[in-house]
Structure 1
């Protein structure tokens, strides 16, 4: 005689409940992973932008004062908005490429929400099927 008196229907219900709970747990893990990846991605983007802006400011200063031998502060004042905007644009572009490389190298497509992997994928590769979800 069996230890438990579950009928086949009860066992099927238990299996269905177990699968439903596993699906909920997996969905929550994907949500948590996506949030953590997004936070880390934002931190990387900020650091990258600041580093690029600093490098562009140094490059502008070297160009103005060492190479062109200018003595006025006006060229740096004129270059400041250009360096700021250039640093932001190059930061966005480089950030997207770095995040795509990380997602692709670590194969994070199935560990993050569906649209996130496609967002970082280059336009040419978006039309190709990389991984079926």
Structure 2
């Protein structure tokens, strides 16, 4: 078996290892897609005063049993439902398109979920208060 010179091995190794273009790097692409850009919202929320039916099932808060008066929070593509008692869960059946259909045009835009929760009165201070 012939012995190769060190320079020949180094040249051959570098020639066989392709370097991906920045646009082809999946990690960089994921970071760009998930990071907010100027003009994009970070967290958007809307209230839903009535019953909320998802896949034919009326939603009920597992903590207090409430069946209406929800805060829907859309953080990128993840939608969370929050009750007045401050219990919150991620609803996997809802996506950003579902949220936008329920929210309609306009709506409030917030820098963080906590800011949205406090502004809408879903921080737990109005637990058990429902308006007709």
TM-score by length of 1: 0.26
Structure with the larger strand share:
2
Identify, as 1 or 2, the structure richer in helix. Answer: 1
Per chain length, whose mean CA-contact separation is higher, i.e. which structure has more relative contact order (CA < 8 Å, sep 6+)? 1
User: TM-score under structure 2 normalisation?
Assistant: 0.27
